A = this chain, B = another copy of it.
Amino acid sequence: MAIGRSPSVKDVAAAAGVSLGTVSNVMNRPEVVSPATRDRVERAMAELGFVRNESARQLRAGTSRTLAYVMLDGSNPFFHDVAQGIELAAEDADLALFICNSNARADREALHLDRLMQQRVQGVLITPVDPESAHLADVARRGIPIVLVDRVAPGEFCSVAVDDVLGGRIAVEHLVEQGHERVAVIGGPESLGQMRERLEGARQFWAEQGLPPEDLTFMPTAAMTVAEGRSAGERLAGIPARRRPTAAFCANDLLALGLLQQAIGAGLRIPDDLAIVGFDDIEFAAAAAVPLTSVRQPRQELGKAAAQLVLEEAAAATHRHRQLTFTPELVARASTRSH
């Protein structure tokens, strides 16, 4: 019971009266060691409180048994649901999962990536600040498989995302079905490929219906946060009633929640005065005072698929990057449905 340092295989071997190799075999290929010996070794391990040293194991193996996920924004539950999916897949593959959070800052992202390379992780799942960053390409060049989550970069990387054009389309389609003729699309910044596609989907449908383009207003925001949603609400309120949109499609749920809060505070009735559609369908969307209609992303599946993709890339000798696209789905709730 004297604990100077934690016991090693050597100590176990000595205690059990066998060689190092045998102890290792007990752990890794129990079938090749005789039951009697195995028993003796296992008893010794228990007695000494032996715990494998993962560093040594990794050193020998050359690669760690670890996956990493670099989250873009820890305060958005969407990414946690994705993380959950990744974790499930990692567990299936008996891998540990390292979760980092770049908080949308490129320097922190770079720091994390550096560390992950030093750890020799098996693969990196990431929603990057900028999919075209040199640092990211650097990591890939060193042979570490990378999969983009909720972002795409055809040719460069594997990725997992939903069809954002379709997402934008079904959101606006739903609003038009409910009889709305003036709709605002809220989100940004426009540099986000995702944002551009959702907007494009909305415009496509609008055009196909032969509706006047000026009745689909794009209201850009600086970020996709609750606060920006509120301020978009204020801008919306400033529009003269005759021309004001009767419905808003927000590019994520945080925006939608902010907008909802501002609108209710201003005395608007939802959905009668203003209908709202969000995007992502995070849990808090359903939990809002007026439950939020939202374009659902299969969040867990996204994570799972990403993990599988990265493992595939890690295993395959030769590999072609693949872009996996999931189909979003509209979940209608009270924020667009007048009973």
Contacts and interface: CB of A to CB of B under 8 A. Distances in A.
Interface of A: 3, 5-6, 49, 51-56, 58-59, 62, 64, 74-75, 77, 80-81, 83-84, 87, 96-101, 115, 117-120, 141-143, 226, 257-258, 260-261, 264-265, 283-284, 287-291
A157 B115 CA distance: 30
6 tightest Cβ-Cβ pairs between the two chains A and B: A289-B289, A55-B58, A99-B99, A54-B118, A55-B59, A226-B287
A80 B97 CA distance: 16
Contact of A288 (B52, B77, B99, B261): B261
A3 B143 contact: yes
A46 to B, nearest CB: 12
- Most chain B CB within 10 A, of A62, A87, A265, A284, is at A284
Contacts of A56: 55, 59
B143 A62 contact: no
A264 B283 contact: no
Contacts of A284: 257, 284
A96 B70 CA distance: 13
A120 B287 CA distance: 41
A273 to B, nearest CB: 14
As for how many copies of this chain the complex holds, the number is 2
A96 B108 CA distance: 12
Contact of A52 (B118, B258, B261, B264): B118
6 contacts: A51-B117, A55-B55, A74-B83, A83-B101, A96-B98, A96-B119
Contacts of A6: 120, 142-143
Nearest to A64: B55
A53 B115 CA distance: 10
Contacts of A115: 54, 96
Contacts of A265: 289
A261 B283 contact: no
Contacts of A258: 287
- Most chain B CB within 10 A, of A56, A96, A290, is at A96
